[in-house]
A and B are shown apart, each in its own frame.
Chain A
Amino acid sequence: MSEQEKQGVDESRRQLLKIGAGTIAGVGVVAGAGSWIKHKVEGVEQDGYPVEISPELKPKDQRDVLLTFACSPALAAKHPERNLSFSMESAGPIKPGEKAFNFQQHCQNFLTAPERADNTKVGYTQLDYALEEACWEGMNQMAPMQAFGFPNQGMFGWDQSDVAHQKYPFEDSVEMISAIKTAAKTFGAVRVGICRADKRWNYDPLYDATQEKTLSWEEDFPFEPKSVIVMLTDMDYEAMACAPMIPASATAAMGYSHNTLQAGAMAKFLRRLGYPAVGSGNDLGNSVAYAISAGLGEGARNGQIIAPGLGPRVRISKVYTNLELDDAAYDKPRDFGILSFCENCKRCAESCPGKAISMDDKPSMGSTLPGHDDPDYNWQGQPGIRKFHNDAKKCFKFWSDNGGDCGACISSCPWNKPDFWHHSLIDGSNTFTGGAVHSMMKQADILFGYGNVNDEKAVKKFWRSGFSGDFT
């Protein structure tokens, strides 16, 4: 081989080496970036509850939960100041000369709204209300008033007489969680997580408004809960896009019917495996806090859970059980970058017709809304958790005025999207970006036409959405 030929071979070898090294480096960079993005998108596991909690945080007394109070004549008599502190006119702390808002009267007004259906008002017609009432029917039959927080109802009853005498011999915690999660899938849940029972998130004392009496975990509840299984059920995107009009209330109602069935069925499943269990919806404890603990999402500005891929368009159910897993088997809270997005977004607060949602830039340990420092006014608040503290009274007043349970904070949220690839791409990118990019994403969401509220076109679109008969 001549010198010139040798040089040619060496040159080709060098080129090949360069290309090889470049390819390996490229693949390495892409794989590294991919795995980092995957890690962020799937949520970064947290050691404890993901936001600051004051050591003085007390469990919530259920008598201070707005919907419980609004349903209870006895609590109204016990706390007359609550029906004198909230203004009917300005929906804030009452000023001289203003009429006070009576929660029990307005609860009745809210519950009888279908009688005032108006066929000339888009979204509030007999058709819309008929759908809403039909959607509530499942829950009304299975666990009446669980959505209002009434404990020990129907399928969520505390009776444990059907607990199997022999416990099923699970090999280990992995087999246990696999069985529980597979059962949740069978019951129609879209997500499920399991966390330890936490006294901070249980209502204590509990309050049964049907009998007007307090109940204690130690004396009245049938067992000491060790674990809580948390399930999510999703709501219809097109129906929720009608918020605050009645089709949105209908899909929320259907969410309650679904979650009653799911939690009731899960409780029965566990009891037949030999473990005491009680299903729960809005009763027994703070569903959002438990869903966060079970790693299903993050607490958002609107006070709800935002679950990646589903947004806040979900309803939560819980099952309290004395089944216990190994520590490592419990799901952990996860950081998906959602709260950071909420800090820069505020779209729900801007869209809220009741102005009930905080416009603060950062979460705080207590409410910053007008009247927050007056315990007679801010009786329903729960300070001691770093989050966006909203005013449920304003929200409830709008429900009563509206004749349906709104949902504007759900439909306007940029995380509320149907299951299409481009939304997954944006949701994924939002988990690892921040600041100005999040603000830009919010503006882009508006420009691209998402998250409108009070949109009459959405109602027409919703009532056509099932026409094809194929919902796959």
Chain B
Amino acid sequence: MMGLMWFLMGMGTTAALWAYLSLRGRYQLGWKANLGLFSAFGFAWICIGWSWGSFAEGEPQSGAMGLISFGLPALVLFVMSWQKFIQPNKRV
């Protein structure tokens, strides 16, 4: 169960890197945009790892709290970075 999680997270990390490179090719990403995206990725990574781990160990409350505590900030950071620092910038 945890082995599958690490495999999927490895795939997810590769996909996120690919998406980032693709985004960088289309938009000018300033340091604020980079910081926002990096933080959002970090929170999302912990969210998946924490919640999956918690459900796997049979602690659903911890899993749910993981989704709220790490998943929500990841979402907010990504949307904020997109709206404030990425979208308004010129396409390359």
Chain A residues packing against B (C-beta within 8 Å) = 238, 418, 420-422, 447-450, 461, 465
Contact = CB atoms under 8 A, between A and B. Distances in A.
B50 interface: yes
B49 A450 contact: no
The 10 closest A-B pairs by CB, nearest first: A449-B61, A448-B62, A420-B53, A448-B65, A422-B50, A422-B53, A418-B57, A420-B57, A449-B62, A449-B59
A291 to B, nearest CB: 26
Interface in B53-85: 53-54, 56-62, 65-66
Nearest to A445: B62
Contact of B59 (A421, A450, A465): A450
B2 interface: yes
Contacts of B2: 420-421
14 contacts: A238-B58, A420-B2, A420-B53, A420-B54, A420-B56, A422-B50, A422-B53, A448-B54, A448-B59, A448-B61, A449-B60, A449-B62, A449-B65, A450-B59
Nearest to A420: B53
B65 to A, nearest CB: 5
A450 B58 CA distance: 11
Given A447-B65, A448-B65, A449-B65, A422 B54 contact: yes
Contacts of A448: 54, 59, 61-62, 65-66
Given A420-B53, A449-B60, A449-B61, 15 more contacts: A420-B56, A420-B57, A421-B49, A422-B49, A422-B50, A422-B53, A422-B66, A447-B65, A448-B54, A448-B61, A448-B62, A448-B65, A448-B66, A449-B62, A450-B59
Among B2, B53, B60, residue most surrounded by chain A Cβ atoms (within 10 Å): B53
B62 A450 contact: yes
Nearest to B46: A422
For chain B, give the interface size range: 10 to 19
A365 to B, nearest CB: 38
Nearest to B60: A449
A461 B49 contact: no
Contacts of A421: 2, 49, 53
Contacts of A465: 58
B35 to A, nearest CB: 15
A465 B57 CA distance: 10
Interface string B7-43: 0000000000000000000000000000000000000
Contacts of B60: 449
B2 to A, nearest CB: 7
A448 B66 CA distance: 8
B89 to A, nearest CB: 22
Nearest to A419: B57
Contacts of B50: 422
Contacts of B58: 238, 461, 465
Contacts of A447: 65
Contacts of A450: 59, 62
A449 B54 CA distance: 10
Contacts of B54: 420, 422, 448
Contacts of A418: 57
Among B2, B58, B65, residue most surrounded by chain A Cβ atoms (within 10 Å): B58
A238 B58 CA distance: 9
Contacts of B66: 422, 448
A79 B82 CA distance: 77
A441 to B, nearest CB: 13
A356 B49 CA distance: 38
A326 to B, nearest CB: 41
A71 B39 CA distance: 60
Contacts of B65: 447-449
